Structure formats: C-alpha cells, structure tokens
Structure 1
Amino acid sequence: MAISIKGVNTGVIRKANEFIALALKIKEPRNKESLFFLPALELRDLLIAVESRLHQKQQLNAAERQHYEKTRDAISKKMQENIPAIVEDELRHADIHRRVTAVALADGSADSVILTFTLHDGTTCHLRVNDLQIETLVYAIIRAIDNAGMRELALRLASLLDFLPLYDADCMDHERLEFDAYAQPEWKHALFTHYLAVLYRFTDETGKTQFSGTVVKTRVPSDSKTAEAISRRLLDFSPRLKKLAGKPCQVSVRTLTANKTQKLTQEQCLRALHHLRVQSVNIATQHA
C-alpha cells in the first residue's frame, strides 16, 4: 500500500562541503512517520518524476490555472500545519537501511503520482504524491539544500530535469563516431516526447574544424528557446562535451521525432548525428 503525505520535512546530511543525502520525513494521514535518505542521483530522479507533472500544470488555461493554484495553496497550508519534526540524532546516526538506492515512477493517475523507493536492504516502499502537493515537496527539498549552503547543487539539479541524455559523441575522421551511451529506464523515456540531435562545430587547438554531438529526449522541438538553453546546459552535464565549455561553437539542433510512442534505436540516433555533421560540412562548403 502506498504511503500518502500529510506533511513533509527535509534536512541535509553533509560531510564538510560534500552532500551525502537529503533526509525526507513524511507524516502520514494517521500521524505515522516515515524517514528516507536520498543521495544526489536518487534525489535527481525523484525531481525528474515530479517535475513532469509541474510541466503539465504550466499548460493549463487561465481559468484552470486559477483553480489549480487556489486548491494547491489550500493543500500547502494544511501541509505546513503538519510538518513532522526532524531531530539532530536522526541525521547524525542515519539508519542505512532507510537509504534509497533507486527511485522509479511506478504510476501516474489523473491527480497523483506513485514513486517506488528501493531501499538499502532491498525492500521497496511506494509513496503517493498528489499533484497539489508537488510544489510544496519540491520547495522543501530546495530550501533544505539552500539552507545547507549548497546552492550550486540545487542549481545543478534544476538544470537536469527537462531533458534525458541518451548519447554523446565525438565525430572522428573517416566518418567514425566515438560515443558514450546512457541507459535510461522506460519510465523516464515516457516523460519526454521529442528526440533531438545536437551538433557542435568548433575549432581545436590546431585550428582544425571538429564536431561533437549529443542525442537527448525533451518535451520541446528543436526550434524552441528551451532547446537552445538545453544545448548550452548539456556542456556542463556531459564528460565528453565538457571540453567545449566556454569555446565558440556553431550549434545545430534537429528534431528526429516527436512521436511519444516511437523509440529510436542506437543506430538511428547516431546515424542522425552523422547526417547532421555531413549537412553542416556541405553548408559550410557551399558558403566557402
């Protein structure tokens, strides 16, 4: 049976300047309390799962938005009245068996999501979060990280929520690609609709033109401002693309498909990057 939320509290466990885990304490409807400890990657996955619902709320029309905000504010007030206490000893002597080792979006109905937490001892817990509770939950998480003096971590987490990395590649000579692949679970794929190929054209230290690229899933087409912003943020995320940070780049973005039910293969994604490179070279040749 899924745990329902009556109130939440959060705290950060850190070692010097290193983030160890976020403590998430839930007060349930009958005042039972549950405590979980989420490391950075698991916390990111929780935020990805609930951020998709916030994105849906942004698509509401004015009347729907007004009703949603009024109801959300009432729910938030009730949650504020039921914040469970976190005592220092719970953080100082955190129970390793309550450490979350995996987060998954198990189900999403019309008004709530169910998250599955896999714990250190292999057991699982299900947490039901009503859509009207999500903003309060996210605020509590970000506030705890901010209060711990880890604003940079909060910004980094926020920058990773609206795209799903799939492949990063360097385009080598003789039409070869050296690439990294990121295996992503199906529940994450289901949150995004658009496959985008992003190509970076730059000049290396010897003055030679080089190409690197990436394939991601997003909720926006290639010609959007959001896609442009994602193409910049990718340089901070990807180990392979970090070398481009701060370098002048010509960036090309192409939508491969916006069909939510269509899943592209590795070959299709990498071939699209190759074609984008060929097109970029041909255009440059025509204008030479």
Structure 2
Amino acid sequence: MAISIKGINTGVIRQKNEFVALALKIKEPRNKESLFFLSPLGLRDLLIALESRLHAKHQLSEDARLQYEKERDKASQKMHENIPLIQEDELKNANINRRVNSLTLVSDEGENLTLSLTLHDGQVCELLINELQITVLAHAIIHAINNANMRELALRITSLLDYLPLYDVDCQQNDNLEYDSYTQPEWKHNLFNHYLAVIYSYKDETGKAQFCGSIVKTRMPSGSKEVEAISRRLLDFSPRLKKLAGVPCQVFVRTLTGDKTQKLTQDQCLRALHHLHVQSAHKAQNA
C-alpha cells in the first residue's frame, strides 16, 4: 500500500565531514512512521521530481498561483503540527535495509507525485507526495543539509535540478568528437522537453581557438535567462568542461527540438553539436 504523508522530519548522517545519507522520517495518516535513508544521488533524484512540479506551479496565472499558495500554506501548517521525532539512535545505528538504492517517479499526473523507492533489502515502497506538501519537504531537506554545515552540498545538488546532462564533448582538430555520455532514465527525460546543443569557444595558451560543448535537456529554449545560467553551471558539473571555469569564452546555444515526445539518438545529438561547432568556428574566425 502506498505511503501518504501527514508530517515529515529530516536529519543528516555523516562520517567526519563526509555526507553519508539524509534521514527522511514520515508520519503517515494513522500515525504509523516510516524511515528512509537517501544517498546524495537519491536525494538529487527526489529533488528533481519535486522541482519539476514547482516549476509547473510557477507557470500558473496569477490568480491560480495565489489559490495554490493559499492551499499550500494550509497544508504546510498541518505538516508542521505533525512532525515525527527522529531519535539519535536511529541516526547512529541506521538500518542499512532502509537505504534507498534507487528512486523512480512513476506518475506525476493529478495532484500527487507517485515515487517508487527500491530499498537495500529489495523491498519496493510507493510514496505519494501531494503537490501542496512539496515546498515543506524541499525546505526540510535543504534545511537539514545546511544545518549540518554542508551548504556546499546543498548548492551542488540544487544547481543540477533544472537540466539533464546527456553528452559532454571536446571538439578535436580533425573534426572528431571526444565525448562522455550520461545515461538518464526515461522518467527524467519526460520532465524536460527542449534538447539544447551548447558550444564553448575559447583560446588555449598559444592563442589558438578551441571548442568544447554539451548536449542537455531543459524546460526552456535557448535565448532564455534560465538557459544562460545553465550554460554557466555546466562548467561546474562536467569533468570535461571544468577546465573552462574562469576562462573567457564565447557560448553558442541552439534548441534542437522542443517536442516532449521526440527522443533524439546519440548520433542525432552529436551531429547537431558538430554542426553548431562548425558554425561557431566560422563566426569566431570572422569576429
């Protein structure tokens, strides 16, 4: 039977200064309690699902958004009145079988998000999160991480929620592409509709123009402030692009498709990135 939320509490487990897991304790409607432990990756996946619904709420008309916020504040008050207690022993002697090994968004239709949690012992739990509970849950997670003096971890996780990395590329002199790929599950693909090609043009120590790039999925098309911010944050995320941090470069972005139902193959993505590289190289030469 699916777990519904009446109240939540969060805590951080760490070894020395290393984050190990976030404890998420849920009080259910009949006051039964469930405890889960989320790794950084599980935490990121949970927040991606939550952030997607919050983004949809920000797109509402002003009247509809005010109505949503009014109902959300009522639901938040109820949750604050039903916070379950986390015992110190539950964190010190955490049950490994309650660790979430994988998290999948099964459905985001209607008012609830339905998540499937696969635990360390193989048990699968279904968790229902009402859209009015999302803000409290997200704040509780970030508050717990900040409270544990792990603000950098909170910043790192929250900077990865509004785009999906697919490929990172170094453009070679012989027109070949050296790339890393990131396999993403179908449910994450479904949260984003725009495929974007991004090319960075910079000069190496000899003054010669070099190019690298990325293919990502976003909710906004190229030319938006959101995508501009994502193109900067990509440099922090990607091992291949990190060399550009602090390096002056020109950025070229192209929307490949905005059709949510269309899934591009690796070949289509890399060809599009190559075409953008050729065009940006031509522009850079004539600048």
Query: Same fold judged by TM-score > 0.5?
Result: yes
Shift of 1:236: 0.4
Q: Which residue of 2 aligns with 1:69?
A: 69
Q: Does 1:130 align with 2:130?
A: yes
**Alpha-carbon distance between aligned partners in 1 of 2:281 and 2:163, rounded to the nearest angstrom:** 27
Q: Which residue of 2 aligns with 1:23?
A: 23
**Alpha-carbon distance between aligned partners in 1 of 2:51 and 2:268, rounded to the nearest angstrom:** 28
Shift of 1:251: 0.4
Once the two structures are superposed, residues 48-99 of structure 1 have per-residue CA deviations (whole angstroms, 9 ceiling, x without a partner) of 0111000010011111111111110000000000000001000000000000
Secondary structure class of the residue paired with 2:261? coil
Q: Which residue of 2 aligns with 1:200?
A: 200
Shift of 1:284: 2.9
Secondary structure class of the residue paired with 1:212? strand
Q: Which residue of 1 aligns with 2:273?
A: 273
Q: Which residue of 1 aligns with 2:43?
A: 43
**Alpha-carbon distance between aligned partners in 1 of 2:284 and 2:45, rounded to the nearest angstrom:** 40
- After the TM superposition, which residues 75-90 of structure 1 pair with which residues of structure 2 at under 5 Å, given as runs? 75-90=75-90
Once the two structures are superposed, residues 194-232 of structure 1 have per-residue CA deviations (whole angstroms, 9 ceiling, x without a partner) of 000000001112222110000000000100000000000
Once the two structures are superposed, residues 105-132 of structure 1 have per-residue CA deviations (whole angstroms, 9 ceiling, x without a partner) of 0111211101111111111111000000
Secondary structure class of the residue paired with 2:174? helix
Secondary structure class of the residue paired with 1:168? strand
Secondary structure class of the residue paired with 1:217? strand
Structure 1 residues not aligned, in runs of 5+:
none
Aligned positions, number:
287
Secondary structure class of the residue paired with 1:262? coil
Q: Which residue of 2 aligns with 1:54?
A: 54
**Alpha-carbon distance between aligned partners in 2 of 1:282 and 1:74, rounded to the nearest angstrom:** 57
Q: Does 1:155 align with 2:122?
A: no
Q: Which residue of 1 aligns with 2:172?
A: 172
Q: Which residue of 2 aligns with 1:115?
A: 115
Q: Residue type matched to 1:106 in 2?
A: V
**Alpha-carbon distance between aligned partners in 2 of 1:83 and 1:264, rounded to the nearest angstrom:** 44
**Alpha-carbon distance between aligned partners in 2 of 1:69 and 1:285, rounded to the nearest angstrom:** 51
Secondary structure class of the residue paired with 1:84? coil
**Alpha-carbon distance between aligned partners in 2 of 1:268 and 1:112, rounded to the nearest angstrom:** 35
Q: Which residue of 2 aligns with 1:253?
A: 253
Q: Which residue of 2 aligns with 1:227?
A: 227
Structure 2 residues not aligned, in runs of 5+:
none
**Alpha-carbon distance between aligned partners in 2 of 1:176 and 1:19, rounded to the nearest angstrom:** 39
